[in-house]
Structures are given as structure tokens and as C-alpha cells.
Amino acid sequence: MDKREEILRISGVDVRKCMRCGKCSGTCPNYDEMEYHPHQFVYMVETGNIEPLMNSKSIYKCLSCFACADRCPRGVEPAKVVEAVRLAVIRQKGQNHLKASQVPDVLDEDIPQQAFVSAFRKYSK
């Protein structure tokens, strides 16, 4: 299956509903850490430009706080798109980026608790 289709299927998101208001990126608490921002995920998936997203660390930087999904006025849910790209990478490689047991070693004190919890969720799949 085509990567774009795969991500749309995994996420269940209709990226065409996006009206490019940028509220997702305005709302994102981890914006500065991300190379690609929530609105870019939606736009790049819509245009089929998936490779850069799959190769970016942004998919692991997303806190999965779902603030973008909660506040999107069009009900697009960008967080689900980010998660879908991440899952596509995991499925493609057949393995995780990190083992769950490795997670505590790479954490520093400044990282939000939410990211810590979400890291376990992401890496223990």
C-alpha cells in the first residue's frame, strides 16, 4: 500500500478537512523541539510528502498530549497523524526505535512527565 494511504488508514484522519488555521501548532507545548510541526504533518500527509516525516525525530518528540486534536476547529486530530507516521516507521522497520528498557537512560530532568509516560507508550509497542 502507498505510504499516504497507509497513514490515512492507520490514523482514520481526513486531512482534507484541514483549513490551515495553524491552531494545532499554536497550541503545541513541544513546538520548539519538533522539526516538523503538527500543521506540517497534516499538510505533508495530504500532499503525499511522507518520507521526510518518517525520517524526522519529530515523531518521537510529540508528547501525545492531544492538545492539537482537542482544539482543532475542524476536528482533524493532527496528533493521530503523527502517531500514524510513527507506527508506519515501526511497522516498516519491524522494530522499535528504542527498547523500553533503554528509555530511562536517555531521559533528562527537564523533560515533561507527560513525555516520559508517552515515551513508554510509544517504545513498548
Residues 33-52 that bind other proteins (CB under 8 A): 37, 39-40
CB of 64 to other proteins, least distance (A): 16
Alpha helices in 55-112 (DSSP H): 58-61, 67-71, 78-93, 103-106
Alpha helices in the chain (DSSP H): 3-11, 23-27, 38-47, 51-54, 58-61, 67-71, 78-93, 103-106, 113-123
Q: What residues have CB less than 8 Å from 93, skipping those under 6 apart?
A: none
* Binding test (CB under 8 A) with other proteins, winner from 8, 13, 28, 79: 28
User: Could you tell me if 96 and 90 are in contact, meaning their C-beta atoms sit under 8 angstroms apart?
Assistant: yes
Residues 56-115 that bind other proteins (CB under 8 A): 67, 71-75
Q: Which stretch binds other proteins (CB under 8 A): 4-12, 32-40, 81-89, 116-124?
A: 32-40
* Binding test (CB under 8 A) with other proteins, winner from 3, 10, 26, 89: 26
Q: Which stretch binds other proteins (CB under 8 A): 3-11, 29-37, 89-97, 115-123?
A: 29-37
Give contact residues for other proteins (rule: CB under 8 A). Answer: 17, 19-28, 31-32, 37, 39-40, 67, 71-75
